[in-house]
Amino acid sequence: MIRQEKMTVVAQVQIATNIFELTLQGQLVQDMTPGQFVHVKVSDTFEPLLRRPISIANVDKEKNEFTMIYRAEGRGTQFLATNREGQIVDVLGPLGNGFPVDAAQPGQTALLVGGGIGVPPLQELSKQLNARGVKTIHVLGFQSEDVCFYEEQFSALGDTYYATVDGSKGTKGFVTTVFDDVKPQFDLFYSCGPMPMLRALEQYYPEKEGYLSFEERMGCGIGACFACVCDTTDKHEKDYVKVCSDGPVFPKGVVAL
């Protein structure tokens, strides 16, 4: 169920250059699944006006807390980064359809591929897959070492490989460079990151089952405004999908890349 809630800031920590981890507490945590997102009102004024869609990184239903990780790049996220413990943040969520954890059977191996600020939702996904008895391999791509995060968390859950554009951490290059080097053996993949990465992944493993999480500029976040539509491939019954409400996670082959 979608709720609009005034959530309380539990912690705000800078975890890498311009990358923040915000922990919020409130009831809407109870309905969250990995890969879903929240729509955050960053200011009480009209500046900035619109909500910001941010993916859910970690869910703790016992404590009623979740974390989101975001890059403080634009006006809205820079404003969000000023929130401190005890302050209130207006959150709409959880929104969209997350990763199908059930698609992986116990005993199988899942490849989790993340790029940049697409990495956070894979953490909760990896936790839930491991809890289900699914082995996870993580391949994470970043621009450079100073914007990498969650190394310990991912390493604790499974083999973790890095690619950075400048070679400052892990393999120099892209996640596909890691695929060539490591030749990971797996049954299905899950991914979140920039469009070129998702496209490369589909092309690399055409025979594998896979689930991709997309990003698009959003207005309402619930499917009413038609800002975030994507064309679909010929195989799909609909001409278009809305990233916010039909996605953001789609089985591979649905969205035209």
Partner 1 sequence: MSRINIELPGLDLKNPIMPASGCFGFGREYAQLYDLSKLGAIMIKATTLETRRGNPTPRVAETSAGMLNAIGLQNPGIEKVMGEELKFLEGYDVPIIANVAGTEVADYVEVAERISKAPNVKALELNISCPNVKCGGIQFGTDPQTAKELTQAVKAVSSVPVYVKLSPNVTSIVDIAKAVEEGGADGITMINTLVGMRLDERTGKPVIANGTGGLSGPAVKPVAIRMVYEVYKAVNIPIIGMGGVTCAQDVIDFMSAGASAVAVGTANFVDHFVCPTIIDELPAKLDALGVEHISEIIGRSHR
Name the residues that contact partner 1, by CB under 8 A. 1-2, 4, 41, 46-51, 76, 92, 216-230, 239-240, 245
- Residue among 170 and 247 whose Cβ is closer to partner 1: 247
Q: What are the residues facing 9 on neighbouring strands?
A: 24
- Residue pair 215/227 in contact by the 8 Å Cβ criterion: no
Tokens standing for residue 97 = 């359809």
What minimum distance in Å lies between the beta carbon of 39 and partner 1? 8
- Residue among 41 and 127 whose Cβ is closer to partner 1: 41
What minimum distance in Å lies between the beta carbon of 239 and partner 1? 7
- Residue pair 95/56 in contact by the 8 Å Cβ criterion: no
- Residue among 136 and 232 whose Cβ is closer to partner 1: 232
What minimum distance in Å lies between the beta carbon of 77 and partner 1? 12
Give me the residue label for tokens 């059977």.
Answer: 105
What minimum distance in Å lies between the beta carbon of 96 and partner 1? 12
- Residue among 52 and 138 whose Cβ is closer to partner 1: 52
**Which sign does the torsion angle of CA 9, 13, 19, 23 carry?**
negative
- Residue among 2 and 81 whose Cβ is closer to partner 1: 2
E strand segments, the chain: 3-16, 19-25, 37-41, 52-55, 58-60, 65-71, 88-95, 109-115, 135-142, 158-164, 171-172, 188-192, 209-213, 229-231, 240-242, 249-251
What minimum distance in Å lies between the beta carbon of 226 and partner 1? 5
